[in-house]
């Protein structure tokens, strides 16, 4: 980064539909950025993923890792292919390597209904969901990634790890987010999701949540067991605000959250650490629909919007925040009339029609502003 208005973005399209949704996303972000006229963002594409491993033997080449480390932010499509695996049978997932390497402990998964999308739950409040799941992304059960063992073909073990250092930062991040949301009129209520009634690790997790909660006493806080959280996400998700949880629980609950807002194609995410951040849709490379032009790029667009807003916050760059909001407003406007129905919701709008609709909505917003 040379000044607070210039940002270098390392772009990793990845595998499967990742390639198909990344091009339109970068084009949309560039259009939003262009209309702020105070922002200079360069997007550079790098290779990583299952196809890279298959073709070169390297899932995450050194050059790609170095460029990612130097960049101001990382924009990622999706990585992994079911038939390309490491010799131990696990999938190729450089996105998980990024989380460990860069200490991206806060996995932010917004569950926000786009106005105009048919709600999945039959309750008027379901059309206005707006809560956030924060998934710890560097330890928990995923600490065992690449380290689990099978003993004599008779027993398998993976170990869950909770550390004080990461948990404190995770909870501070969650309370900060709760505070930002409170300033925007949300409840500012942070809920720790755990299984503290059964596991020592989760009792420790909850204890640290309480300690950090005492330091953030301006915010409401509560606990929920993960099984109750799954129930509440279906029975009364409109009451939720900020949920913070362990890696594996967050992995599962964030897919449940995606279902509540229309499916994986609508669910953006950010993996945030103290110095780096990766922005990518919650979904994987979806090989079942790759190459057909039917992938929904909305989650990718919204992840790009989160990236611009994060850059804006981190570098006090109002123009970046504004460009991010423009992209999100354009997505909302494109779906608002209920006419744009993506393939996974039974319609016929694939990648290009969704891009065209969102880009047209962006043009309209920009025109309306200049009048």
Residue with smaller CB distance to ligand ATP, 5 or 144: 144
Residue with smaller CB distance to ligand ATP, 208 or 289: 289
Smallest distance, ligand ATP to C-beta of residue 39, A: 27
Q: Can residue 284 be called a binding residue for ligand ATP (CB under 6 A)?
A: yes
**Which is nearest to 285 in space by CA: 52, 32, 68?**
52
Smallest distance, ligand ATP to C-beta of residue 251, A: 8
Q: Can residue 354 be called a binding residue for ligand ATP (CB under 6 A)?
A: no
Residue with smaller CB distance to ligand ATP, 178 or 262: 262
Q: Can residue 296 be called a binding residue for ligand ATP (CB under 6 A)?
A: yes
Rounded Cα gap, residues 121 and 130, in angstroms: 14
**Which is nearest to 161 in space by CA: 227, 235, 100?**
100
- Can you tell me which of 289, 317, 333, 359 binds ligand ATP, judged by CB under 6 A? 289
Q: Can residue 278 be called a binding residue for ligand ATP (CB under 6 A)?
A: no
Task: Locate all alpha helices (DSSP H) within the chain, ordered by sequence.
Answer: 17-34, 50-56, 62-70, 94-101, 164-183, 200-214, 226-235, 247-260, 298-314, 318-336, 351-370
- Can you tell me which of 81, 264, 317, 361 binds ligand ATP, judged by CB under 6 A? 264
97-131 burial, b at 16+ Cβ within 10 Å, e below that, comes to: bbbebbbbbbbbbbbbbbebbebbbeeeebbebbb
Rounded Cα gap, residues 153 and 155, in angstroms: 6
Question: Residues 1-30: x/- map of binding to ligand ATP (CB under 6 A)?
Answer: ----------------x-------------
Q: Can residue 39 be called a binding residue for ligand ATP (CB under 6 A)?
A: no
- Can you tell me which of 124, 288, 368, 371 binds ligand ATP, judged by CB under 6 A? 288
Rounded Cα gap, residues 41 and 304, in angstroms: 12
* Cβ neighbours of residue 36 closer than 8 Å, sequence gap 6 or more: 319, 320, 322, 323, 326
Residue with smaller CB distance to ligand ATP, 17 or 193: 17
Smallest distance, ligand ATP to C-beta of residue 283, A: 3
Q: Can residue 286 be called a binding residue for ligand ATP (CB under 6 A)?
A: yes
Stretch binding ligand ATP (CB under 6 A), from 43-51, 120-128, 173-181, 284-292: 284-292
**Which is nearest to 78 in space by CA: 248, 279, 227, 253?**
279
Rounded Cα gap, residues 182 and 132, in angstroms: 13
Q: Can residue 295 be called a binding residue for ligand ATP (CB under 6 A)?
A: yes
Structure tokens at 185: 């009129």
Please state, in angstroms and as integers, the Cα–Cα distance from residue 305 to each residue in 51, 325, 335, following that order.
27, 7, 16
Q: Can residue 317 be called a binding residue for ligand ATP (CB under 6 A)?
A: no
Residues 120-139 that bind ligand ATP (CB under 6 A): none
Write out the residues near ligand ATP by the rule CB under 6 A: 17, 80, 264-265, 283-286, 288-289, 295-296, 299, 344
């Amino acid at each position: 980064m040379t000044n607070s208005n210039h940002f270098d973005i390392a772009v990793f399209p990845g595998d499967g539909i990742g390639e198909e949704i990344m091009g339109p996303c970068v084009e949309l972000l560039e259009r939003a950025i262009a209309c702020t006229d105070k922002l200079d963002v360069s997007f550079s594409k790098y290779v990583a993923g299952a196809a890279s491993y298959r073709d070169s033997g390297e899932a995450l080449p050194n050059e790609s890792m170095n460029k990612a480390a130097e960049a101001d932010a990382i924009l990622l499509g999706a990585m992994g292919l079911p038939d390309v695996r490491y010799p131990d049978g696990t999938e190729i997932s450089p996105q998980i390597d990024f989380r460990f390497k860069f200490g991206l402990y806060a996995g932010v998964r917004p569950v926000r209904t786009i106005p105009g999308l048919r709600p999945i739950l039959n309750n008027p409040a379901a059309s206005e969901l707006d809560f956030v799941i924060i998934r710890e992304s560097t330890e928990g059960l995923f600490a065992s990634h690449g380290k689990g063992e099978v003993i004599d073909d008779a027993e398998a073990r993976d170990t869950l790890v909770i550390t004080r250092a990461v948990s404190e930062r995770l909870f501070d991040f969650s309370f900060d987010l709760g505070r930002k949301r409170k300033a925007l009129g949300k409840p500012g209520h942070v809920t720790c999701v755990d299984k503290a009634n059964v596991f020592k690790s989760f009792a420790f997790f909850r204890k640290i949540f309480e300690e950090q909660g005492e330091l953030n006493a301006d915010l409401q806080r509560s606990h929920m067991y993960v099984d109750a959280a799954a129930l509440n996400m279906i029975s009364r998700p409109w009451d939720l605000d900020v949920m913070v949880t362990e890696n594996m629980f967050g992995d599962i609950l964030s897919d449940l959250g995606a279902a509540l807002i229309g499916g994986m194609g609508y669910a953006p995410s950010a993996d945030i650490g103290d110095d780096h951040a990766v922005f990518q849709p919650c979904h994987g490379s979806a090989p079942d629909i790759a190459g057909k032009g039917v992938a929904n790029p909305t989650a990718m667009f919204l992840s790009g919007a989160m990236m611009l807003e994060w850059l804006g916050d981190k570098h006090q760059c109002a123009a970046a925040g504004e460009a991010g909001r423009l992209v999100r407003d354009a997505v909302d406007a494109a779906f608002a009339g209920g006419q744009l129905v993506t393939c996974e919701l039974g319609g016929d709008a694939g990648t290009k029609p969704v891009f065209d609709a969102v880009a047209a909505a962006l043009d309209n917003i920009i025109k309306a502003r200049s009048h």
